[in-house]
Chains A and B, each alone.
Chain A
């Protein structure tokens, strides 16, 4: 490190640190404090804010929209997380085999990941269209009468889960693949010499050694699932959104449509609390199934 003393050193430190630090204070720390304070106010941005104590938190309990949003978010998470993990792990196992064209396949699975949710949502709205969409056309070939998908509150959420798994699996595939490639070859070879078949090697070597990666993928997909927004907001038609409104959408609606800034801020803290609680529980549970090599 460059040795300097006193004032000159501080000038250098501030020169390098201040743009970032200013950004942190203005865009993160300030807003966090402000947002926490905002939860005790009612404010539509036009008239002066009104202090209402903890009433916003009390309103949560009686707000059927909140409970519905919580339910939809939870349902989305429960369907999406295991599906992404299963698809991604399967794809990663395949890509870890000595097959031709691995680079091409890996590239293909990642194309949806880099595409914007807006474009992808438009595409899936088209695919899920009950009259002339590709999905029901294909189901029709199998003799199945497809549902109304994004037009029906009962099925819209499932359609969004399908599209989300399609879009996001490639990301976790890369993470799993990195994890698989981190497992030393010697282990597999030693087991093979000892007469272990492919299934036994998967069960007793690959699976235990991939658990740290799986744990990480689980935590990040869980957090991402609770923050789901773009696709839920863009895909189901307005009527069907009765069956799909998630927490972030409720935050946006309250801030935007109903001009309830305080309530929107309260909802965002509830979201934070839920994510935090789930992460803490997962960190506790990891001892039971995550295997760390010493």
Chain B
């Protein structure tokens, strides 16, 4: 279609400019990952070159990574801690949320206000007492220490309470007529009705536990209890010139890949999660 008017020409230039900026920004966002992957495939003298295509390419650094560190164990640790932490946090939060949204009891508002108030406390304030508690219990280097603090979240409770509040009473009354008790209503009526919120919360909780660094840094000192990010961080020595970059990048790929795959499958929920957490204020 020929450009007829000055107006159309302006539109065309503008959208061209918009595409240029978007494509440039996409390159800026994705090239570091491409380079990370490419470096992980390089060997020998080629590691330090800025060439994009690794030639020769080899999976040797991945093999060595599993040799020098208990990588298999670290992968399992990360998966185990993340799955148990996520399921536990959401289940407990949903149960409390149910008590706040669908049960009448004295002191409900007071306790709920307490939940809201704790959301203002920065994590750093509680992390030291949590660490002291865990170390006095002799839990340093153990799964309970890694998992326990992630089982509770005031934010998840708050979010699920909001979701439960939107469910009309009629559904619940109908279930009661059929002789359902609280457990049945919670499991069969309420949880299925808030699936989108559960899905969103799951991906966000999963992501934050999977990527967590500070807490594992406190409580996992032995390699057997390290999560992937923590193990990866130990790969980088203090002497930069001795760092084996292909190994480090292979470790980074192993750490990032699972969450990227989940992201690609659950994109919609990630975006909703961002928006929902944006509403929390």
Q: What residues make up the interface of A, taking CB atoms closer than 8 Å to B?
A: 1-3, 9-10, 12-13, 15-17, 19-21, 23-24, 26-32, 34-35, 38, 45, 90-91, 94-95, 97, 99, 101, 104-120, 122-127, 129, 131-132, 134, 137, 151, 166, 170-171, 174-175, 178, 198, 213, 216-217, 219-220, 223, 227, 229-230, 234, 237-238, 248, 251-252, 255-256, 261, 264-265, 268-269, 271-272, 275-276
Contact = CB atoms under 8 A, between A and B. Distances in A.
Contacts of B141: none
Interface in B27-63: 28-30, 32-33, 35-36, 39, 48-50
**B interface residue count range (under 10 / 10 to 19 / 20 to 34 / 35 or more):** 35 or more
Which 6 interchain pairs have the tightest Cβ spacing? A23-B152, A20-B96, A31-B129, A116-B211, A118-B229, A119-B252
B124 A261 contact: no
B149 interface: yes
Given A94-B21, A124-B32, A28 B252 contact: no
A276 to B, nearest CB: 7
Contacts of A119: 36, 229, 232, 251-253, 255-256
B257 to A, nearest CB: 9
A122 B275 CA distance: 29
B255 A99 contact: no
B124 A230 contact: no
Interface in B146-186: 148-149, 151-152, 154, 157, 169, 172, 176, 181-182, 185-186
Nearest to B130: A31
A110 B29 CA distance: 9
Interface stretch (B69-77, B97-105, B192-200): B97-105
A48 to B, nearest CB: 13
Given A108-B30, A115-B259, A234 B233 contact: yes
Contact of A126 (B39, B123, B218): B39
Contact of B152 (A20, A110, A166, A271): A20
Contacts of A217: 278
> SS class of chain A's interface: helix, strand, loop or mixed?
helix
B120 A276 contact: yes
Given A109-B29, A119-B253, A272-B124, 13 more contacts: A12-B182, A24-B115, A31-B130, A38-B129, A110-B270, A114-B263, A118-B230, A123-B249, A126-B35, A126-B245, A126-B248, A127-B32, A234-B233
Contacts of A116: 210-211, 213, 228-229, 255-256, 259
B182 A132 contact: no
A229 B124 CA distance: 10
Nearest to B21: A94
A282 B265 CA distance: 38
A35 B105 CA distance: 31
A178 B271 CA distance: 10
Interface in B210-227: 210-211, 213-214, 217-218
Contacts of A220: 278, 281
B96 A27 contact: no
Nearest to A115: B256
Given A16-B96, A119-B256, A216 B118 contact: no
A116 B218 CA distance: 17
Nearest to A17: B99
23 contacts: A10-B105, A20-B92, A21-B96, A26-B133, A27-B149, A31-B130, A35-B128, A94-B21, A110-B263, A111-B260, A111-B263, A116-B213, A116-B228, A116-B259, A117-B213, A118-B232, A126-B39, A166-B29, A174-B278, A237-B240, A248-B124, A269-B125, A271-B125
A28 B103 contact: no
A70 B191 CA distance: 45
B124 A271 contact: yes
B281 A219 contact: yes
Contact of B248 (A16, A122, A251): A122
